[in-house]
Amino acid sequence: MAHSSCLALALAVAAVLAMAAVEVSGLGFDLHHRYSPIVQRWAEERGHAGVSWPAGAEVIGSPEYYSALSRHDHALFARRGLAQGDGLVTFADGNITLRLDGSLHYAEVAVGTPNTTFLVALDTGSDLFWVPCDCKQCAPLGNLTAVDGGGGPELRQYSPSKSSTSKTVTCTNNLCDQPNACATATSSCPYAVRYAMANTSSSGELVEDVLYLTREKGAAAGAAVRTPVVFGCGQMQTGSFLDGAAADGLMGLGMEKVSVPSILASTGVVKSDSFSMCFSKDGLGRINFGDTGSADQSETPFIVKSSHSYYNISITSMSVGDKNLPLGFYAIADSGTSFTYLNDPAYTAYTTNFNVQISERRANFSGSTRSGPFPFEYCYSLSPDQTTVELPIVSLTTNGGAVFPVTSPVYPIAAQMTNGEIRIIGYCLAVIKSDLPIDIIGQNFMTGLKVVFNREKSVLGWQKFDCYKDEKMTDDGSSVGSPSPSPGPTTHVFPQPQESDSPVGRTPIPGAAPVPRSSSAAAGGRAGFRLLSSMALLLLAAAAAAVF
């Protein structure tokens, strides 16, 4: 059997949560996973504690935790209607990203003069950026405290009349898609976005105002960029938006011209209508607006299948260890989905061929799940002293022949013993049989890669990448230009699991530049901010699971 080098299953949660908004080459931008302590605190202060932490999911890495993530994915599918310049710029320093129901990450962004701060959901499956504004019906407002280890900003409505840089978007604007609803050509352009999930919608008027960004690279790294963008003044929210799903707004990263990436490209803030996401193996990552990747990256074209502007690609075959599986199917590349979802015959072919190449015994962890069905079918137990595991190499061959490597096909399972000790007791193949007529390549398949969503060339690009050093990696896992490791399997020792309620503060990544607090204006650039993915939050469990 062909196997990869030994894979470390445990991830240090507290160390990851403490990583701050710093970039190796400039400013960074924090994103926080839905079930992080920061999101829990934010949700409790806004009266949405039940949305943030379902029963049993508050202990990270437990079967309940994975069940809650699976429910999040299905809520996201429903909301989307699937169920049945030069260089990089980023959001201004101090902006933070969080995620609640229906979204995997949130970003704290600032708009207007003086600026108003919002925690907006990031969504690659929609287009419009909107925030609560002159509210007739919005989610409850509150005060966010101690988000970054100190006092947080007050969360409030945006009001065009209180911003000196706000401008009306009239019905003649090319971003107005409802001109027939206008009384006159000079009227404010109305918008209405309706989602399939539980009568969820946002409506109001389009406005133009400044969004605060910072340049990430080059001589002006860290310089502030105030760029005008068109977004929704969300006066009326309904459904799940009133209960914590995008309570402070939503930023669409889709392909349409009204999305923030499209606006940044069309106004020249970035040179290319493209953005990249980089997910490191410890769960941290970055998103860079304007990034087209490198000339030697792998690429496959987007496939337009319907009116939905999703990032569809074509898979022609799968490789699992020594088995090549000639399967053809379309899939959505979606970093906002926690796991990867496959339909048959791809699901059965992948899981059964993976299973026969695993030496550990099958395990059943579903018995301790209280927050919903346990999502994974193929799980395995570890012996008490086992710290490493060998896995078959997994890859996808895409339309055009480019190979998409899957560097993190499994999730670790941890349990708290009767003596209070927390131990890694097993792992699961992190693929779920889809109950939808679609296949989705989720965030877990993107770990260890920089994935480029190039809307200008209509291609998806990827490359093994070191998100810390901002450089590509060789196939053996070393940075380009660094000495290659000796042949043979590499042993990774499990880090000691950390408590999930560890203090969250702003600490620098080793070797990274500190975060300056720049206030000067600059033009042009590409954008980057940090991602905290579900991959970093898989260590702790509430109770010992049934291993056999």
Lowest-pLDDT choice from 18-22, 223-227, 268-272, 323-327 = 18-22
Q: Which range is most confident: 81-95, 139-153, 355-369?
A: 355-369
Whether the link from the prior residue into 153 is cis, omega within 30° of 0, is: no
Report the C-alpha gap between 135 and 210 in whole angstroms: 20
Whether the link from the prior residue into 412 is cis, omega within 30° of 0, is: no
Per-residue pLDDT, 104: 57
Report the C-alpha gap between 104 and 335 in whole angstroms: 8
Tokens standing for residue 521: 């204006």
Helix-, strand-, coil-residue percentages of the chain, each rounded to 5? 15, 35, 55
- Per annotation, catalytic residue among 30, 123, 243, 466: 123
Indicate if 334 belongs to the active site: yes
User: Quick one: pLDDT band at residue 379, thresholds 50, 70, 90?
Assistant: very high
Domain borders along the chain are 16-289+484-499+516-536, 298-446
Per-residue pLDDT, 103: 46
Report the C-alpha gap between 271 and 213 in whole angstroms: 15
Q: Residues 324, 329, 334, 339: is their CA dihedral positive or negative?
A: negative
Q: Which range is most confident: 139-143, 403-407, 468-472?
A: 403-407
Residue 317's nearest CA partner among 307, 309, 329 is 329
Per-residue pLDDT, 338: 72
Question: In b/e form, how buried is each residue of 248-283, taking b as 16+ CB within 10 angstroms?
Answer: bbbbbbbbeebbbbbbbbeeebbbbbbbbbbbbbbb
DSSP string, 31-96: EEETTSHHHHHHHHHTT-HHHHS-TTTTSTTSHHHHHHHHHHHHHHHHHTT-----S-EEEPTT-E
Q: Quick check: 353 pLDDT over 90?
A: yes
Indicate if 466 belongs to the active site: no
Lowest-pLDDT choice from 266-280, 316-330, 463-477 = 463-477
CA 381 to chain centroid, in Å, comes to 29
Per-residue pLDDT, 235: 94
User: Quick one: pLDDT band at residue 143, thresholds 50, 70, 90?
Assistant: very low
- Per annotation, catalytic residue among 334, 439, 466, 470: 334
Tokens standing for residue 95: 């902006």
Class for domain 16-289+484-499+516-536, per CATH?
A: mainly beta
Question: In b/e form, how buried is each residue of 201-217, taking b as 16+ CB within 10 angstroms?
Answer: bbbbbbbbbbbbbbbbb
Judging by beta carbons within 10 Å of its beta carbon (0-12, 13-18, 19+), is residue 296 exposed, middle or buried? Answer: exposed
Report the chain's mean pLDDT, rounded to a whole number. Answer: 69
pTM of the model: 0.68
Cβ atoms of 38 and 32 closer than 8 Å: yes
In CATH terms, the fold of domain 298-446 is: Cathepsin D, subunit A; domain 1 (2.40.70)
Residue 165's nearest CA partner among 209, 109, 206 is 209
**DSSP reduced 3-state for 412:** strand
Per-residue pLDDT, 297: 96
List residues bridging with 232 in a β-sheet: 130, 206
Tokens standing for residue 12: 């240090």
